Chain A
Amino acid sequence: MHSDDVVWDSLGNKQFCSYKIKTKTHNFCRNEYNLTGLCNRSSCPLANSQYATIKEEKGQCYLYMKTIERAAFPSRLWERVRLSKNYEKALEEIDENLIYWPRFIRHKCKQRFTKITQYLIRIRKLTLKRQRKLIPLSKKVERREKRREEKALIAAQLDNAIEKELLERLKQETYGDIYNFPIHAFDKALEQQDAESEAESDTEEKEEEEEDEDADKREFVEVDESDLSDFEDMDKLATSSEEEQDDKSSSEEEEREMAERTCHSKSKGKAPVKGPARTKRAYIEIEYEQEIEPASKSKAA
């Protein structure tokens, strides 16, 4: 005999029910026809031979009913009634179909139906708004892209490229007159004229010519502004002026020592110079020593 109490006693209460989920506070029932979702004596669809539920399929709500007369025919067990889309009408239909049924089931059916319609309305509202589309990322692709980006960054040599571009623009005079580098104009002038010796008089030859003329005099050669920018020129300048001073040293009893010739090297670090560029000059330090005649000799004479 199909007795509800027996079923409940064995399945729901004491022994194992596969639909039952136990948590700390509640027992839940996983059965798809369960009205409330909890595992109770009155909500268990297995332990009640007269039972009804509301289920929703693709936006349409249906009322499912089970009676004891059909308990022997499992395939025809659940009777399905389509409810109208109008909320009030659907409630009336529920009432009509579940007339004379226990109060609990009727009440719970209506509650469940209300909840279902509310969430259907919410779904319809949300689909009208913008939806966030989730695109799955493939880890392999991501890794590959990252690696390629790193390699591209190395191949790009950004700093060099930018510097080159800026220098190009400077050369093509897109900046107009803001930057006044005289050597630029000077080079141009050189190219235009033929190479005459006087045209090149700004460079080292000048000093050597003067040196031939005035052997005794010591001349301090004026260092030209334009040569300062090029480090190599500075070096040449320093060495050439050294040479001439050596040559010009006449027969004096003073001994001159070429002490330190210091040249400062330009900062070659990667951090660019902040602020205005400072030009550094090469300079020469000269120490003089005087030889005093020994007093003893003079006395002897």
Chain B
Amino acid sequence: MSGPGSMASGAAAGSADGPADAARAPEQALFPPGFSVSEIKNKQRRHFMFLRWKQQQRKDKLANKRKRKKEREALGDKAPPKPVPKTIENQRVYDETTVDPNDEEVAFDESTDEFAPYFNRQTVPRILITTSDRPRGRTVRFCEQLSTIIPNSHVYYRRGLALKRIIPQCISRDFTDLIVINEDRKIPNGLVLSHLPDGPTAHFRMSSVRLRKEIKRKGKAPTEHQPEVILNNFTTRLGHSIGRMFASLFPHDPQFIGRQVATFHNQRDYIFFRFHRYIFKSEKKVGIQELGPRFTLKLRSLQKGTFDSKFGEYEWIHKTLLMWSCYCLAGKVG
């Protein structure tokens, strides 16, 4: 037999007795450091040795755990704090494009970019919602529900019109934003959000769309009050501009009487949209109840001008194959 070393062949010979040997197998010399299970050519024996090795590992791990626990208890109060498990959020490398709230350059940029008129309350948002050609039932209903959520929005169906021709008409009729919901195989799967007087265009991939009737424990229909907006976790420059884009969809003065809130929560580059009604039970407790549709967005590209797929100047494109370009909206992972 081709045994790698004397120890190993001893162990291999020991294993020839089979499981009966395992009971009295000496623990210390069984797996010397130089030994690797993969060097045994015989499959059955290799398998057996591997199982034994696994058992050994498990025993070691358990023993270590118990020892550590005992040490902790022995130390009592002086024990060092438990180590925090690593999550992606913990491991984020500080992204240098993170927006600092007091940053002057960012503030200056924002006062002169395309959303400035909205944030200065010079314009009132007016949204046009449309779809791709020939929308099917789900998409139609989704558009209707969206239009009830976003105040001051209108749904128009596109019958074969080119987007490039729609856009000047929209601008002439004073629309500030255009939302196009792309449909594939009867479900909506893409969203193009374009800020109209030549603002940026963002193209998202939409997933897990739930209409109102599919939401469990939902409340009554959303009322006409203007909702509040919550934007979570849009920290980098790119995230910040996307966040402003979302904020400019809703009117600037929410009506708190309506107690409705629309949330855009960014987590690991997925933007979750929810629409809730809240109630303050006490000053430390609030209850929320979900109404309205929900969906998830993932940014695919951000374009400088209005929608133009051929000649547009792309500010950012998602590259699927580049692993290190992930988590761009909130920060890279180290």
Contact = CB atoms under 8 A, between A and B. Distances in A.
Nearest to B257: A178
Contacts of A155: 87-89, 267-268
B272 A277 contact: no
B283 A183 contact: yes
A272 B272 CA distance: 21
A247 interface: no
Interface string B279-321: 1111110111100000010100000000000000000000010
A162 B267 CA distance: 13
Nearest to B230: A165
A156 B287 contact: no
B270 to A, nearest CB: 5
A166 B284 CA distance: 10
Interface in B37-62: none
Consensus secondary structure, chain A interface = helix
Contacts of A169: 228
B263 interface: yes
A158 B232 CA distance: 10
Interface string B83-102: 00001110000000000000
B288 A145 contact: no
B23 interface: no
A229 B272 contact: no
Contacts of A181: 280, 282-283
A274 B228 CA distance: 20
A220 interface: no
A183 B217 CA distance: 31
B157 interface: no
A73 interface: no
B280 A179 contact: yes
A200 to B, nearest CB: 19
B87 to A, nearest CB: 7
Contacts of B261: 162, 166
B268 A162 contact: no
A146 B207 contact: yes
A162 B283 contact: no
Nearest to A145: B298
Contact of B288 (A141, A156, A159): A159
B281 A158 contact: no
A272 B288 CA distance: 6
Contacts of A153: 267, 270, 272, 296
Determine which residue in B257, B263, B283 has the highest number of CB atoms from chain A within 10 A of its CB, and name it: B283
Nearest to A130: B162
Contacts of B263: 158, 161-162, 165
A149 B230 contact: no
B256 to A, nearest CB: 5
B280 A170 contact: yes
Interface in A225-265: 229-230
A167 B279 CA distance: 11
A148 B270 contact: yes
A229 B89 contact: no
A273 interface: yes
Contact of B267 (A152, A165, A230): A152
Contacts of A166: 230, 261, 278, 280, 286, 288
A156 B286 contact: no
Interface residues of B, number: 37
B265 A158 contact: yes
A91 to B, nearest CB: 35
A16 interface: no
A104 interface: no
A8 B288 CA distance: 83
B157 to A, nearest CB: 16
Contact of A141 (B87, B228, B320): B320
Interface string A266-301: 000001111001000000000000000000000000
B276 interface: yes
B208 interface: yes
Contacts of B280: 166, 170, 179, 181
Interface string A156-186: 1011011101110110000110110101100
Nearest to B207: A149
Contacts of B138: none
A273 B281 contact: yes
B274 interface: yes
Contacts of B320: 138, 141
Interface string A121-147: 000000001100000001001000110
B289 A149 contact: no
A110 B296 CA distance: 57
Given A141-B320, A145-B298, A170-B283, A274 B272 contact: no
Contact of A161 (B208, B232, B283): B232
Contact of B282 (A159, A176, A271, A277): A277
B272 A156 contact: yes
Nearest to B88: A155
A230 B283 CA distance: 10
A132 to B, nearest CB: 8
Nearest to A149: B270
Nearest to B162: A130
Contacts of B217: 271
A230 B281 CA distance: 11
B288 A162 contact: yes
Given A145-B298, A161-B265, 11 more contacts: A138-B320, A152-B270, A155-B87, A161-B232, A162-B263, A163-B278, A170-B280, A179-B280, A183-B283, A229-B282, A272-B279
10 contacts: A130-B162, A149-B296, A152-B267, A152-B269, A158-B274, A166-B278, A167-B286, A183-B282, A273-B279, A277-B281
